[in-house]
Each structure stands twice: as C-alpha cells, then as structure tokens.
Structure 1
Amino acid sequence: MTAQPEITQRDLRTRSKEIMDAVQDGQAFTVTRDGHPIAELIPLRRRRRFVPRGEFATMSRTAPEISLDAFRADQGPTAEQQSDDPYAR
C-alpha cells in the first residue's frame, strides 16, 4: 500500500480546487492539523451505469455455464414454501 500524501488544513483551505481535482482523479490525502493526522480525503467509488458491449461480451464468454435443471432444482423447494399468515389464528 502506498502512503497518501499529507496536506495541512491550511493547504486544503487555500488549494481546495487543486486538491479536489486530484481527489476526483483518484488521489487520496491525509489532512493534518498541527502536524497530527485528523482526516482522510478519499475519492468516492462510483457505480458504473453502462457497460460497453465488448466488455459485456468478454464477461459473457468467460462466465461459468449454468445448468437450467440444477437451477430449477435449487429453486423448487423455495417456491413451494407457504408463507405464514401472521393474522391467522
């Protein structure tokens, strides 16, 4: 694991645009006050909404084969269960 660069609270205040741009690009920082670490500034993980067709095709080719009969056998006992009515007495 690589060490995160340290920035002072004052640096964060005066260079906020530059630092936030670096965070947006994936850089993490340790914020210090009076020489003591007080916080970590880390980028948020973003969830992708779109997977390119080529990437999906590659993932599909390497995915394990699924047996439809085994899937149905696994689901059968679950589907046959009756839910209990909490109001029936």
Structure 2
Amino acid sequence: MSGKPDIAQRDLRTRPKEIMDAVQEGQAFTLTRDGRRIGELAPLRHRRRFVPRGEFAAMSRTAPDISLDAFRADQDATTEQGPDDPYAR
C-alpha cells in the first residue's frame, strides 16, 4: 500500500479542478487505470531561493575554518594553468 489515496483516470477527467486544488494544498495521489496503479500525482517541493540573514549567520558560526592556501592548492591541482589557444589543433 502506498499511503496515498488512489484516484482513477476517470476521476481525473471528471473532477480535475478538485483534484488539482488538493494537490496544490499538499495532497498526493496514486493514479490508477483499470484498477492498476500506474503513477503518482504529487505536489512539487518548493526550494527556497534565499536564506534569511539570521539563519545564514548561525550556519556560518558553526562552519569549519577554511585554509586559503589549501584551497588555492586544490584549485591549482585541478585546473590547467597554461594559456588556452582556441585555434590550436
């Protein structure tokens, strides 16, 4: 059992507004066709675009210190240091 209510293809055709409103409110459904489960209809997770200043400051206080010399050495080791000629063949 999936834990989500089943919704038949017929119901999706006859009650689209009601179903879409439920999805918008956070409800998820298991779609069925001829009594067989064929898919899921679920709300999208909204990712935050911005982190509040206070939350960022709190995370920054517990972040480990970064050695700038080690960071630069890692960059140098993973990137090409020579000039790039776009016309070289």
The TM-score normalised by the length of structure 1 is 0.72
**In structure 2, what is the equivalent of residue 15 of structure 1?**
15
Residue 70 of structure 1 and its aligned partner are, at CA, apart by: 1.3
**In structure 1, what is the equivalent of residue 41 of structure 2?**
41
Residue 7 of structure 1 and its aligned partner are, at CA, apart by: 0.8
Question: What are the superposed Cα offsets for residues 11-60 of structure 1, whole Å, 9 maximum, x if unpaired?
Answer: 22233223212222332211112211122112223332122222222222
Counterpart amino acid of 2:37?
Answer: P
Counterpart CA distance in 2 for 1:67 and 1:36 is: 57
Counterpart CA distance in 2 for 1:14 and 1:59 is: 48
Residue 71 of structure 1 and its aligned partner are, at CA, apart by: 0.9
Aligned residue pair count: 88
The TM-score normalised by the length of structure 2 is 0.72
Residue 86 of structure 1 and its aligned partner are, at CA, apart by: 5.7
Please state whether the residue corresponding to 1:58 is helix, strand or coil.
Answer: helix
Per the alignment, do residues 64 and 21 of structure 1 end up closer, same or farther by CA in structure 2, a change over 3 Å counting? farther
For structure 1, the 5+ residue unaligned runs are none
Please state whether the residue corresponding to 2:85 is helix, strand or coil.
Answer: coil
Runs of 4+ residues over 6 Å off in structure 1: none
Please tell me whether residue 62 in structure 1 is matched to residue 55 in structure 2: no
